[in-house]
Chains A and B, each alone.
Chain A
Amino acid sequence: MKIIETTNLTKFYGKNKGIEDVSLSINEGEIFGFIGPNGAGKSTTIRLLLSLIYPTSGKATIFGKNCFKYGHEIRNDIGYLPSEVFYYDKMRVKELLKYSASFYKGDHSKRIIELADIMELDLNRKIDELSYGNKKKVGIVQGLLHQPKLIILDEPTSGLDPLMQQKFFDLILEENKKGATVFFSSHILGEVQKLCNRVAIIREGHIVKIEDIKTLRNDNYKKVSIRTSNHNQKVFAIEGISNIEQVDGEINFFFNGDINVLLSLITKHKVNDVIIEEPTLEEIFMHYYK
């Protein structure tokens, strides 16, 4: 059975497009990355899956059930961490988590303490005294306390320091090992590459590509800029180079291929400076998926 399946899911806000014809199919036990620049439609898709908003057309099912008809049943087994976390300010962390747990069957108090321990969250603080990062931790505990079968994460790492990010990733991987499926939305390619098995790339409301993470790794684009007194950019015209441009003494291009070939070519010329870096996601999109 597919955990999440959408068919031509479309949402328009009046005349503005949110997403159009999004078809996804996510298997049990997968960590599925959902990546795209800001405003591409990631949150719209997630809000549709949670039936916070209703579609203009198309279908969506989770655990084989219609998201918009049986949303309340489905949500029993979903843990959701929103990108922006806001909670009832007057409450204490403990009260909020208890309130959150009261929506699910069973006793989750032990798990709350366990998770709070891992994330180093003080349960007795008042919500409105918490920093952004700490609120995010409340969100993580709140999303995982009922051992959900499907974990939906919407840009979960913003506001967490690198150490906490690692703890959080470990937590997600552990849940995944126990059988949870993970839907991970992000605009940071690196973290998706680290965690996910498959990834869907969304841009301007359309899915541009659904790929195995290994393939994406092979498509190893580098952004290269070379400062040189040799102003002839043609010397770098080898296979795998694209988007070459020259600005004053600087030659910029993208390179996809054997890095050794490029390096030996560079050494043949007198250069002042070389920068080889990961292109940003935006650049990959601009470049590949025109």
Chain B
Amino acid sequence: MNIYKREIKDKLKSTIVWSISIFALIMLFMSIFPVFSRDATTLKLMMDNYPEEMLKAFGMSGVDLGSVAGYFTMTLLFTQICLAIQASNYGFSILSLEERELTADFLLTKPVTRTKIFFSKFAAAFTALTITNVATWGSTYLSIEMFRNGKDYDIDIFIKMMATIVLFQLFFLGVGMVISMLVKKVKSVLTFSMSLSFGMYILSAFGSIIGEDTLGYITPFKYFEPNTLIINGAYDRTMIYVCITVIVVSLLASYILYNKRNIHSAN
């Protein structure tokens, strides 16, 4: 428990900042919804003027932005980018922290197994991400109730959209962890996490624009693309399986690699 507690304490500030930021982001986006929905016809005209490629890139193609759920897909996409950055930040940092800040000689010479260190760190990161996840749910519910402007919405669709956040976070956490174990040293966490999260987003956007579906199997932005859910009423099952497989494999691999890793000295 002592390692878990320390890790939580270490992440507390960043978790609060991320949670508040995402909360504010959703509120801000949704607060414009009443304006959008009031002038639905004008809006549709405007959207028709945008190139189709751009709409696809922002996940706005094929949905009615005048509906609560349709408008929310756009909000969720930006939220997903934030969630991805936060989760990969933790992924890249938790196992590499001791080596980067040269505290390995402290923690790893204590009477604990690496297995215990691994699980404590993972549990702490997952707790932190769950706090942010809860903030996302809360903000979504609140903002919809505040700004839906009397419009009805299908609660089912929302639950489905939000339920995937945990998988989305675990994907970036796990992939971050395994990459941090595969490279010799993670010098700057932010460089790695930005590349991973934006890289995945760009892949997804690019795949949508050129209409290449296989590209979608690499990136969670595609697995959980909200407008696919709205159009089809369900996610692509295969993609969900791919996502779960990636999570399990990357966590397992990082566990094995961490246990075998040679921790070198500072000099």
- List the interface of chain A (C-beta within 8 A of B): 13, 43, 47, 50, 52-54, 71-76, 78, 80, 82-90, 99-100, 102-104, 142
A76-B111, A99-B6, A100-B110 given; A86·B262 CB < 8 A? no
Q: How far is the CB of B15 from chain A (nearest CB, A)?
A: 15
Does B264 count as interface, using CB distance less than 8 angstroms? yes
The listed residue with most A CB atoms (<10 A of its CB), out of B6, B110, B116, B266, is B110
- Whether the Cβ atoms of B106 and A100 lie closer than 8 Å is yes
- Whether the Cβ atoms of B266 and A86 lie closer than 8 Å is yes
Instruction: Note all chain A residues with C-beta closer than 8 A to B111.
Output: 72-76, 103-104
A80 to B263, CA, bound (A): 15
- Whether the Cβ atoms of B103 and A47 lie closer than 8 Å is no
Instruction: Note all chain A residues with C-beta closer than 8 A to B113.
Output: 71-72
In chain B, positions 246-267 with a C-beta closer than 8 Å to chain A are: 260, 262-267
Closest to A146 in B: B111
- Whether the Cβ atoms of B110 and A84 lie closer than 8 Å is no
Q: How far is the CB of B211 from chain A (nearest CB, A)?
A: 46
Instruction: Note all chain A residues with C-beta closer than 8 A to B109.
Output: 50, 52, 75, 78, 80, 82
A76-B111, A99-B6, A104-B111 given; A54·B265 CB < 8 A? no
Q: How far is the CB of A153 from chain B (nearest CB, A)?
A: 13
Given pairs A72-B113, A78-B109, A103-B110, 4 additional interface contacts (CB within 8 A): A54-B262, A75-B109, A86-B102, A100-B106
Instruction: Note all chain B residues with C-beta closer than 8 A to A82.
Output: 105, 109, 265
Does B232 count as interface, using CB distance less than 8 angstroms? no
Does B2 count as interface, using CB distance less than 8 angstroms? yes
Q: How far is the CB of A132 from chain B (nearest CB, A)?
A: 13
Closest to A11 in B: B262
- Whether the Cβ atoms of B112 and A84 lie closer than 8 Å is no
- Whether the Cβ atoms of B265 and A86 lie closer than 8 Å is no
Q: How far is the CB of A98 from chain B (nearest CB, A)?
A: 9
Q: How far is the CB of B14 from chain A (nearest CB, A)?
A: 12
One of B101, B260, B263, B265 near A84 (C-beta < 8 A): B265
Does B40 count as interface, using CB distance less than 8 angstroms? no
In chain B, positions 39-58 with a C-beta closer than 8 Å to chain A are: none
Instruction: Note all chain A residues with C-beta closer than 8 A to B2.
Output: 99, 102-103
Q: How far is the CB of A245 from chain B (nearest CB, A)?
A: 34
Q: How far is the CB of A202 from chain B (nearest CB, A)?
A: 16
